[in-house]
Structure 1
Amino acid sequence: MNSHKSFAGTWILMKFMMRRDRIQIPLWIFGLTLTIFATLVSFEEMYPGEEDRQGIAVTMANPASIALTGPKLYLEDYTIGAMMSHQMLGMAGIVVALMSVFLIVRHTRKEEETGRAELVRASVIGRHAIVTAAFIWAISVNLGLALIVALGLGAVGVESVTWEGSFLFGAGLASIGLSFSALALLFAQLMEHARAASGLGAGAIAVAFSMRAIGDLGDETLSWLSPIGWAQQTSTYVDNLWWPLLLSLVFTTILILIAFPLSATRDVGAGLIRPRRGRAEASAMLHGPLGLAFRLQRMNLLIWGFAMLLFGMSYGAFIGEAEEMFGSIGDSLDGMLPSRDGGVLADSFAAMFMTVAAMIGSIPALQSILKLKSEENAGRIDPLLSNVVSRTRLLGSYLIVALLSSLFLMLMAGVGMGITGSQSMGDSSYLGTLTIAGLSFTPALWVTIGLAVAIYGYFPRKTSFSWAMVGFAFFVVYLGGVLQLPEWVTNLSPFTHIPRIPAEDFDVLPLLVLTAVAAVLMIIGWFGYSRRDITQ
């Protein structure tokens, strides 16, 4: 087959992808753009003078803030532009990376998993057409977002938010999106299921963020191994360095050169990493829906559990160092952090990152319950329900796995942070304290799962909206204080009601309330699921 025929049908497929994404992608772009512009306006109102901005720069020069936002290079002359790049480029980049991963997996591996790709390739479609169309569409989305953001920021008219910096800001976001689009395209060739490819993509984003954060807290070596770090090293609105984006371009090119040949050499519907052959006879665990639900998700849970352990250990190692680095600016921060006798700054540091760990942990927990929806879409639910398995038992099995997985994930995060945190602080009690801190966030994850069950029960075609709770939680934690959101808005996130242990005392009441809310949502979803039709 010549090169021309290998790409036959690419533009037709791309137009089809654009039609399928005509609602989702504009919502992603609108939400992200609105958040960026709202943040810029808020910064301008809250820090109108140079003295105000340098004052906040002092408070941002601490390990917790650097790990959450970006490197210190922005803090020397903390203009509105520098503030935007420092606090928003990395956070917005995570959203762009997620959007890109989901877009690629949706139009490649998901199409093969459902069997639609095989039908499409039975027509006059080249062997590279699907992956080419998906990647061109991802490029178009990311460049379109970059252009909208650049033109919008430049048109605001803030003195330090220059046109060159605005276009570099947009290009930085696009570079992150394209890097993870290429990475997702590779994962789509390796994995046999869309959920595994998406999980690896989300895990790669978490690793990239962690490498950037740990690198910025140290000598920045690890920051130069992260696509998010490359975008932030452009020093947007400060030095406006374009050359770090070349690293992203090289990284993307290498991954594409690897992924494209792989897409043509493997079988349609199969991944290069083949699942191992099962036993001739099913184990006792597979005699019921609970065992089946766990079996389908065990590898994903093990990978995420290990990732949560590493995440906790990575940040726990800096708790002791945070106490020293905070010492010189402790007086200016006392009014901003929860008060506690001794170790207030280190405790607040630990509590802040345990909150971040909980929000990250909600991603695989939500994937766990939404696995039932993918099984329904694939038509594998009907044979189960036509036997002796009831809907209550089937939904309950996936719900049990989701609830226990959230408990397991937060246990791993707490233990990981406790192991290294106790060593860095020289206090063995931190192991138990931080383990409890991690487990205390479990009811917040249960509320997220309960909302997903309620949506799935009544509106199965809208289950993707379940991710809105996770996105809103990140928005509240990272931008709630910056945008000075009203208290009633922040209270809509279940994560804001969890006591910030060890900076705050343990309080069982909000945990019981959140558990009750989760139970009500699950019951509502169960009623809907037991009465609606099973769809495909």
Structure 2
Amino acid sequence: MSDYTATRTLLKLALRRDRIQLAAWIYGTGALGYSAANSVGSTYPDAADRVDAVKTLTDTPALLLTRGAPVGTSEGAVAMVQIFTYLCVLAALMSTFAVVRHTRQNEETGRAELLGAAPVGRRAPLTAALLLALEANTGLFVMLAVVLPLAGLPLSGSLAAAAAAAATGLFFAAVAAITAQLSGTARGANSLAGAAVGAAFLIRGIADAGGEVRGGGTSVDSTALAWLSPIGWAQRVEPFGGDHWWVLIVPLVLAAACAVWAFRLNDGRDLGAGLLQDRPGPASAAPGLLSPLGLALRLHRGSLLGWGAGIAVLGAVIGGMGKSAGDALRDNADLSDTLGKIGGGGGDPVDTFFASMIVMVGAVTAGFAVQTLLRLRAEETSGRLEALLATAVSRGRWLVSHVTVAVAGSLLLLLIAGVSAGLTYGAAAGDLAGGLTDLTGAALAQAPAVLVLSGFVVLAFAAVPALSSGAAWGALTVCLVVGQLGGLLELPQAVRDISPFSHLPALPAADAKALPLLALTAVAALLTWAGSSLFARRDLTG
């Protein structure tokens, strides 16, 4: 029997399982690309408007960090500044989730062992997962190559942008193949792959922010640091700028090398085991582990520390950029209006900048809440929940313990972000008390929207457990797109209202309003209650 026996059968099975999830990723990403390309003409009706917008962008490193380096002032180039890095991130996440789902998750749930009882080659599951990622990214390439020209952009640049995004997805699919060998759990493999995506985005942002401005302020040549980021490689293709197709050799060759490495790691480990071994615990458990809440806190402790460190850095970066970003916005009303569409509010340029950045803090915190609550499904599928419920612990008490950690952890992350941003901005502006008060309050005001997403995850876990992971991350993606970019993409208000973030007051640029905060909190409580009630009545599933 060959190492690749039954690969085609496993690929068909994976396509059958993921037909809805992958379609949602591909069509959603295509819709985002179309909306961004289609909105350029109305937002910047003539060439002079585009030139002014790009020049302001190149004068503001804070915006280059989050948006990307412009390569010109054509409609296509401006559209790519708005959306291209996000297209690459979506392609990367789609690919990593798919590969982990059909490799490490199958081993964790026991499906791989069941399949192994049939004539299935040793390398067949990993090969099928990588081929699935190849087909998904091919579909994404076709989608973007169709919708971008339909939005009025040139075909050559559209093809380059579509190919660069798909190549990014393929590279991260290979990265996920490696993390699936390293970690013993799907959650750990996804966390490692997600950290790689986040690092790529951050490195690309630093390279763009420190780049050299060229063409009289209409383009930026990123520093050499961009070559250390897979998203930086895609950006070096310069769609609608240079269309440097040869750059795609880098992600494709390295993706192949990572895939070969993943196969070698796969060959050298036992089924179900990860190469990164867990540390042995103490001989006797601490008293706190005798309660469900203590156990939940112990399970999420490492994740909370990692997210806390990351969001503290993010808050400090946002606060440090406040003064310079405000100075740049005072000189450009169009850019100030653009940021107002992202974060809401208006008036003082510094407050407008912070309002748009605080939304990002809320999105990051929501990512922590989603990851934390998806541990509910991991505990169920691993069989640990069944053993736990065989004791005196009730379902409701167990569920509440994880929800409590997710909620308290989210509030702590928002507090850390607000304090770190307030300290750095207050020190630069000479108003430490004011900076702490305004930015900490603005960060904590994101909590109701985060809690709504948390309640949705609990409901999805109870109602559709098998689809809870895709539903949770898909909901977060939708909220980010329609909430943060809805105004910029001129989406209908009814669509933007889907995101709970759209209903928050744009602090510190706008006045605080209690009604939307209380209403969102009530919705979050209702969703959580509904999920808890459904979970109490349904059967446990593997």
TM-score, normalised with respect to structure 1:
0.90
Cα distance per residue 1:231-283 (max 9 Å; x no partner): 12221112211233233234323423432211111222111111111122222
Conservation of the 8 A alpha-carbon contact between 1:149 and 1:166: yes
Aligned residues between the structures: 524
Match of 1:302 in 2: 305
Question: Residue 67 in 1 paired to residue 60 in 2?
Answer: no
- 1:191–1:152 distance in 2 versus 1, CA, 3 Å: same
Letter matched to residue 462 of structure 2: G
Is 2:368 the counterpart of 1:364? yes
Contact 1:208–1:227 (8 Å) recurs in 2: yes
**For 2:2, what is the secondary structure of its paired residue?**
helix
Q: Secondary structure at the match of 1:438?
A: helix
Structure 1 residue aligned with 2:357: 353
Distance in 1, Cα, partners of 2:235 & 2:181: 29
- 1:535 CA drift (Å): 2.4
Deviation of 1:203 (Å): 2.4
Q: Distance in 2 between matches of 1:397 and 1:14?
A: 38
Closer/same/farther in 2, CA of residues 330 and 44 from structure 1, 3 Å limit: closer
1:258 to 258, 261, 280: 261
Task: State the distance in 1 between where 2:479 and 2:384 align.
Answer: 33
Q: Which residue in 2 is equivalent to 1:411?
A: 415
| 1:27 and 2:29 correspond | no
Report 1:14-413 matches (<5 A): 14-58=11-55, 60-61=57-58, 62-74=60-72, 78-154=73-149, 156=150, 158=152, 161-219=153-211, 220-221=222-223, 222-329=225-332, 333=336, 337=340, 338-340=345-347, 344-413=348-417
Aligned counterparts of 1:273 and 1:418: Cα–Cα separation in 2: 38
Q: Check the 8 A contact 2:160/2:239 in 1, yes or no.
A: yes
**Structure 2: which 5+ runs fail to align?**
212-221
Q: Is the 8 A contact 1:63 1:325 kept in 2?
A: no
Unaligned runs of 5+ in 1: none
On the 8 A contact 2:182/2:274 being kept in 1, the answer is yes
1:207-254 Cα deviation digits (max 9, x unpaired): 222222222121333433221122122211122112332332343234
C-alpha distance 326-52 of structure 1, shift in aligned 2 (>3 A): closer
Does the residue aligned with 1:198 lie in a helix, a strand or coil? helix
Structure 1 residues 417 and 254: alpha-carbon distance in aligned structure 2, compared to 1, 3 A threshold: farther
* Structure 1 residue 435: Cα displacement: 2.8
* Structure 1: distance between partners of 2:237 and 2:206: 18
Partner of 2:537: 531
Aligned AA (1:181):
A
Counterpart check, 1:434 vs 2:439:
yes
Cα deviation code 1:52-75 (max 9, x no counterpart): 43354355444454333220333x
Q: Matched residue of 2:204: which SS?
A: helix
Q: Relative to 1, partners in 2 of residues 1:109 and 1:274: Cα closer, same or farther, differing over 3 Å? A: same
- Residues 1:366 and 1:157: Cα distance change in structure 2 (over 3 Å): closer
Task: Evaluate the alpha carbon distance shift between residue 457 and residue 129 of structure 1 in structure 2; reply closer, same or farther with a 3 A threshold.
Answer: closer
Question: In 2, Cα distance between the equivalents of 1:295 and 1:370?
Answer: 16
Q: Would you say the 8 A contact 1:85–1:232 is kept in 2?
A: no
Q: CA-to-partner distance for each residue in 1:449-507, whole Å, 9 max, x for gaps?
A: 11222233333334232334312221124431233223343233221233333333444
Aligned partners of 1:494 and 1:514 also within 8 Å: yes
| Native 8 Å contact 1:43 1:482 kept in 2 | no
Aligned partner (choices 446, 453, 460) of residue 448 of structure 1: 453
1:5 is the counterpart of 2:10: no
Deviation larger for 9-18 or 386-395: 9-18
| Alignment RMSD | 2.5
Secondary structure of the corresponding residue to residue 6 of structure 1: coil
- In the alignment, the residues of structure 2 paired with residue 459 and residue 261 of structure 1 have an alpha-carbon distance, to the nearest angstrom, of 36
Deviations 1:155-175 (A, max 9, x none): x383xx332212111111112
Q: Distance in 1 between matches of 2:124 and 2:160?
A: 31
Q: Go from structure 1 to structure 2 and tell me whether the alpha carbon gap of 1:389 and 1:412 turns closer, same or farther (over 3 Å shift).
A: same
SS at match of 2:15: helix
User: In structure 2, what is the Cα distance between the partners aligned to 1:7 and 1:72?
Assistant: 45
Question: Following TM superposition, by how much is the alpha carbon of 1:399 offset from its aligned partner in structure 2, in angstroms?
Answer: 1.1
Structure 1 position 117, deviation (Å): 1.6
CA deviations on 1:132-188 (whole Å, 9 max, x unpaired) are 22112212211231133214434x383xx3322121111111121012112211211
Tell me, yes or no, if the aligned pair for 1:418 and 1:434 is still in contact at 8 Å: yes
In the alignment, is the contact (CA less than 8 A) between 1:422 and 1:431 conserved in 2?
Answer: yes
Give yes or no for contact 1:203–1:307 (8 Å, CA) kept in 2: no
Paired AA for residue 352 in structure 1: S
Give yes or no for contact 2:61–2:210 (8 Å, CA) kept in 1: no
CA contact (8 A) 1:319 1:349 kept: yes
8 Å Cα contact 1:72/1:216 also seen in 2: no
Q: In structure 2, how many angstroms separate the alpha carbons of the residues matched to 1:247 and 1:427? A: 47
Contact 1:66 1:216 in 2 (8 A): yes
Deviates more, 1:484-493 or 1:323-332: 323-332
Inter-partner Cα distance in structure 2 for 1:368 and 1:336: 31
Q: 2: CA distance between counterparts of 1:117 and 1:336?
A: 48
Distance (whole Å) between structure 2 residues aligned to residue 326 and residue 244 of structure 1? 34
